[in-house]
Structure 1
Amino acid sequence: MFCLSIQLCTTITIDELAPGLKTILSFVAPDQKSGKVEVQYFHENAGISTSIGLAAKPLVNFSGVAGNNTVALGTDISFDTSTGDFTKYNVGLSISTADLIASFALNNKFDTLSASYMHTVSPLTNTAVGAELTHSFSSNENTLTIGTQHALDPLTSVKARVNNYGIASALIQHAWRPKSLVTISGEVDTKAIEKSAKVGIALALKP
């Protein structure tokens, strides 16, 4: 049996209704419930984004970040008006210097604590190494992921990562025209290679 599924993603952006203000209308055809309106406001040291779904009882999302070139604090909150429940609330802190980024976050309704670190080894080739440690309070499980990235040339880059459960993934991404990318990715469970290999390809086109 062969199944073909086609989706059309449409985005309309209105810039500068006021200084720093942007409005975005997006929807995915044929999903009639996918439409949403998003309003973004950016200031020198802060940014706010609010979106609401185009449905009778929509999902409302708010995200914001404030800081400077060194330290930033942000939050992401979603509220489902159909149930009256918060479906998401996350907070995060990041610290950046010229060659490293460290971040700490509470996600999944504060059930998951994560800490990550990325160090730039070579700015000329965009080579970097990083690691992330995540702890789940509900399951008391820890996940350690290490990864790296490298630019083969100005238009092509590769990334790879592996975690302590033996899940390894890699991708190669090429900008074949300005703002248009083709990505080939793969993932495998190193403990069951013959059963779990996955390969994917993605194409992003921008006018």
Structure 2
Amino acid sequence: MSKGQFPLFSDIGKKAREILYKDFDYERKFIVTTQTADGLALTSSTVQKESHSVGNVAAQYKYKNAAVDVKVDTQSNIATSLTLTDIVPSLKSIASIKLPHYTPAKLELQYFHEHATFGSSVSLNKSPVFDVSATCGTPNTVIGVEAGYDTSAADFTKYNAGISIMKPDSCTSLILSEKGDLVKASYLYYLDQARTTTVVEFKNRFSENGNTLTVGGSHAVDDLTLIKLKLDNQGNFGALLQHEFKPKSILTMAAEFDYNSIDTNPKFGLSLALTP
């Protein structure tokens, strides 16, 4: 979300989710990004998954209000997208397609207003899938809804609703998703001039009559080093250390173990992102 831009539906509860889940990857990743002065960025990444590795090469070119993205992986899959901003004031459009497997091209539109946003997407095939979302409110309170409809099945794929209440030192969010089956509530609180953040998240799935409570937080040791911890009532404990050892070059180490099952092997992840 850009500075000063009213949030989309996907932004409701986003900050809390980033604290608890972002970069908690338990794989080995190596990423190198290079940029040129004319707006071209090339990114090469390799991910080690158990006994095999996968990789991809991505290119992004930006010119004025347009951005073209192309990604090719080791399975010869190609994903491309074209993003245009401010064709008309406050409107953003995204067109994307994946090859060689037949995946319908998709067109997305996002409209931003001072106190509202509207988003829509459609798959460009004979039986399209439509997705729409909308938010409205004030700088402190955001209310949003989201829905999807599959014309081939003549049925809704999703209908969700959410609300977020923001204060200078906290953010409270509530989301009802998965056609009313899952409720997610989160509370985020900033401490120590936002260098330390605490989060509490509660999830309840009505069809399974079960819930998950997760507590966590992050602390910026300095401008270059970040530590994150989380613990849930299922017995999972996660820790993350992230350090920017040179501008835009970041080393991330993550670990997780189940303290209720000592026979389960801990999970470890290592990511190195370099920008020469």
TM-score, with normalisation over the residues of structure 2? Answer: 0.64
Equivalent position to 2:96, from 14, 21, 26? 26
130, 155, 171: which is aligned to 2:240? 171
Could you say if the C-alpha distance between residues 199 and 45 of structure 1 is closer, same or farther in structure 2, counting changes exceeding 3 Å? same
Look up the match of 1:12: 82
- Counterpart pick for 2:261 among 173, 192, 201: 192
| CA–CA separation in structure 1 for the residues paired with 2:262 and 2:88 | 54
**CA 159–55 in structure 1, closer or farther in 2 if over 3 Å, else same:** farther
Which stretch shows the higher mean deviation, 152-161 or 42-51?
152-161
SS in 1 for 2:264: helix
Instruction: Give the match for residue 147 of structure 2.
Output: 77
Q: Indicate how the Cα distance of structure 1 residues 89 and 174 shifts in structure 2: closer, same or farther if over 3 A, else same.
A: farther
Shift of 1:88: 1.3
Partner of 2:201: 132
The gaps in structure 2 that reach 5 residues or longer are 1-49, 57-70, 72-78
Where do 5+ consecutive residues of structure 1 fail to align?
none
**1:92-111 counterparts in 2 under 5 A?**
92-111=162-181
Structure 1 match to 2:218: 149
1:49 paired residue among 103, 119, 125: 119
Greater shift in the superposed pair: 36-45 or 148-157: 148-157
Structure 1 position 17, deviation (Å):
0.9
Q: Deviations over 1:5-32 (max 9, x none)?
A: 4452543211111110011123455554
- The count of corresponding residues between Structure 1 and Structure 2 is 204
**Structure possessing the higher relative contact order (Cα contacts under 8 Å, 6 or more residues apart):** 2
Higher mean C-alpha displacement, 148-157 vs 1-10: 1-10
| Structure 1 counterpart SS, 2:139 | coil
Give the TM-score normalised by the residue count of structure 1. Answer: 0.83
AA at the equivalent of 1:111? D
CA contact (8 A) 1:53 1:60 kept: yes
- For residues 205 and 64 of structure 1, what CA distance do their matches in structure 2 show? 37
Structure 2 CA distance, aligned partners of 1:146 and 1:69?
26
User: Cα RMSD (Å) of the superposition?
Assistant: 2.8
